[in-house]
Amino acid sequence: MSRSTNCFDPIANPGGMLSVAESVERILAKITQPTQIEMVALSQAQNRVLAQDQVSSFNVPQHTNSAMDGYAVCAGQFAHQASQTLKVVGQVFAGNAFNGTLAQGEAVEIMTGAALPDGADSIVIREAVQRDGDLITFSDTVNIGQHVRQKGEDIKAGSVALSAGCLIRPQEQGLLASLGKQQVAVFEQLSVAIFSTGDEVVAQGQPLPENCIYDTNRFTLTGLLQRMGCRVIDLGIIEDSQASMEQVLSRAATQADMVISSGGVSMGRADYIKQALEAVGEIAFWRVAMRPGRPLAFGSLGSTPFFGLPGNPVAVMVTFLQFVQPTLRKMMGQPDWQPHKMTAIAQETIKSREGRIDYSRGVYRINDQGELVVQTTGAQGSGILTSMVQANCLIEIKEQYSQIEAGDRVLIQPFSDLL
C-alpha cells in the first residue's frame, strides 16, 4: 500500500507522534454519515438523532392565551391610569374561548392557558385585584401584553422546529410531542462490539489469582456506550493468542457497526492483538501526544471502524471521550459534534509536559466569589480509576504548557456530556 493512500500508515508520521486534534481529524475523515433511517416511537427516541427536519404545520401555541390566572383586560384603553374598576362579564377556562368581544370598562376572568378574549390585550393577575360581586378594582399600572403568551411564540407555523442531525434529549422529546408526533424518523441505532485483552485480566465471578486484576474496561465502555444510546455486543475477555483474536475480530466486524478493544496496543509489546489486527484488517498503531492514552490503534475491519484503546482503565475512558465519542457521534448523524469545554481558574499548580496534552481528572465548582474554579483529584496515574469516580471533569492542559500555576485559567471538559 502506498503511503499517500493510507492515512493510517504510522510511517507517515516521522516524528512518531500525532496530536489529539490531528488524530481526531484523521479518524473522522474515514467515517461516513449514516443513511439508514427508521421510525421509532417518540417515547423510545431518547439519544437517537433526527433524520429529517421537523416542520410544524401549526402555531405552538395555537392561540394567544393567558400565562396566569387572573383577568383579561384591554390595557390599551386605560394605559398609564392608576386605579381601575372594571366589570367582569364572563369567565374562560383553559381549552375554551370567551364568546364575545371585550367592550370598554369590561374584564373577563381567565385561567392559565385559556385563549385571550377578543378585545383583550393583557392579564391582571388574580392576586392584584379586589373583587366585589362582578366588579374588580386594581391599582397597579398594566403594561400592554403582560402575562400574555402570543400564538406561535414557541414554534411558528411553517418553521423548522428541529433540524435533521439534532440529538433527541428529553427537551426535544417534549418539543416533538408539542407538534403532535407519535413517531419520528431517526438514524439507525449503532451496535458496538467490545472486548478486553490480556492474560492478567479476569472476569468477575472468577477467583482473582495472584498478580491479576478484574476486567474494568468492558464495564466502563459498556456504560459509556449505553449512555450514547448504542447497543453493546460484549465479546468478553479474549485470550492472548493470535488465532482466537483473529476469529473474534472477523466475527465482531460482521456483527457490529464498530469494534472496540482495550489493551495490547502499546508500542514495543509483543501482544498478539497487533498481529491479528494486521492479518484481519487495516490498522495503524499511533502514538498520540497525550496523557493518559498515548498508544492508540485505529483502522477498519472490512468496512467496520476499529479502535484499539490502551489498557489502562483511565486511559480507556479518556481516549473514548476524545476519539470514540466524536466518531460515534458522526456515525449517529451528528457530524459536527465536539466536547463541551469551559475555562476555570486552577486552584493549584498542575504539572504537565510541553508537546503533549494532559487530561488531569478534576473537580470544578463555584467558589465563594462566584468564580468557576477547578482542582485535580490528586494522584493521576492512568490506572487510578478512583480519580474518575471523584472527578466531574477533565482538565485539558494544552501542548504549549509545561505547568499550570494556581490562579491560571485552564480548559475543562465537564463530564456532563456523558458521564
Interface contacts to Mg ion, rule CB under 5 A: 198, 263-264, 311
Binder to ligand AMP among 40, 97, 125, 213 (CB under 6 A)? 213
H helix or E strand, kind and range, residue 249: helix 242-255
Is 261 a binder of ligand AMP (CB under 6 A)? no
Stretch that binds ligand AMP, among 75-83, 286-294, 311-319, 350-358 (CB under 6 A): 311-319
Is 165 a binder of ligand AMP (CB under 6 A)? no
Stretch that binds ligand AMP, among 99-107, 151-159, 211-219, 247-255 (CB under 6 A): 211-219
Task: Give CA–CA dist 352/62, Å, rounded.
Answer: 57
Is 264 a binder of ligand AMP (CB under 6 A)? yes
Q: DSSP for 191-206?
A: EEEEEEE-TTEE-TTS
CB closer to ligand AMP, 47 vs 222: 222
Size of the site for ligand AMP (CB under 6 A): 18
Q: Least distance in Å: CB of 240 to ligand AMP?
A: 9
Centre a 10 Å sphere on the Cβ of residue 199 and count the other Cβ atoms it contains: 11
H helix or E strand, kind and range, residue 176: helix 170-178
Q: Least distance in Å: CB of 219 to Mg ion?
A: 17
Cell numbers given for 347: 486552584
CB closer to ligand AMP, 221 vs 404: 221
Q: Least distance in Å: CB of 216 to Mg ion?
A: 13
Q: Least distance in Å: CB of 312 to ligand AMP?
A: 4
Task: Give CA–CA dist 415/419, Å, rounded.
Answer: 5
Q: What is the CA radius of gyration of the chain?
A: 30
Is 313 a binder of ligand AMP (CB under 6 A)? yes
Selection from Mg ion, ligand AMP, none that 292 binds (CB < 5 to 8 A by kind) is none
Is 198 a binder of ligand AMP (CB under 6 A)? yes
Selection from ligand AMP, Mg ion, none that 34 binds (CB < 5 to 8 A by kind) is none
Stretch that binds ligand AMP, among 162-170, 215-223, 239-247, 407-415 (CB under 6 A): 215-223
H helix or E strand, kind and range, residue 71: strand 70-73
Q: How many residues does the chain have?
A: 419
Centre a 10 Å sphere on the Cβ of residue 319 and count the other Cβ atoms it contains: 28
Q: Least distance in Å: CB of 236 to Mg ion?
A: 15
Say if CB 177 and CB 198 are below 8 A apart.
Answer: no
Task: Give CA–CA dist 188/185, Å, rounded.
Answer: 9
Is 200 a binder of ligand AMP (CB under 6 A)? yes
Is 325 a binder of ligand AMP (CB under 6 A)? no
Residue 5 CB-half CA count within 13 A:
3
Is 23 a binder of ligand AMP (CB under 6 A)? no
Cα separations (Å) of 191 from 78, 138, 255, 362? 65, 63, 8, 31
H helix or E strand, kind and range, residue 351: strand 350-351
CB closer to ligand AMP, 48 vs 291: 291
CB closer to ligand AMP, 140 vs 200: 200
Q: Least distance in Å: CB of 199 to ligand AMP?
A: 9
Q: Least distance in Å: CB of 263 to Mg ion?
A: 4
Is 250 a binder of ligand AMP (CB under 6 A)? no
Is 266 a binder of ligand AMP (CB under 6 A)? yes
Is 196 a binder of ligand AMP (CB under 6 A)? yes
Cell numbers given for 309: 484503546
Cα separations (Å) of 190 from 166, 331, 390, 418? 16, 8, 30, 17
Is 310 a binder of ligand AMP (CB under 6 A)? yes
Is 190 a binder of ligand AMP (CB under 6 A)? no
Task: Give CA–CA dist 307/295, Å, rounded.
Answer: 11
Cell numbers given for 238: 479474549
Is 220 a binder of ligand AMP (CB under 6 A)? no
Cα separations (Å) of 350 from 3, 289, 310, 357, 362? 39, 18, 24, 13, 11
Burial of 46 (0-12, 13-18, 19+ CB in 10 A): middle
Is 387 a binder of ligand AMP (CB under 6 A)? no
Q: Least distance in Å: CB of 198 to ligand AMP?
A: 5
Q: Least distance in Å: CB of 178 to Mg ion?
A: 51
Task: Give CA–CA dist 6/183, Å, rounded.
Answer: 42
CB closer to ligand AMP, 90 vs 223: 223
Is 308 a binder of ligand AMP (CB under 6 A)? no
Q: Shortest CA distance to 376 belongs to which of 344, 419, 398?
A: 344
Chain contacts with ligand AMP (rule: CB under 6 A): 196, 198, 200-201, 213, 215-217, 262-266, 269, 310-313
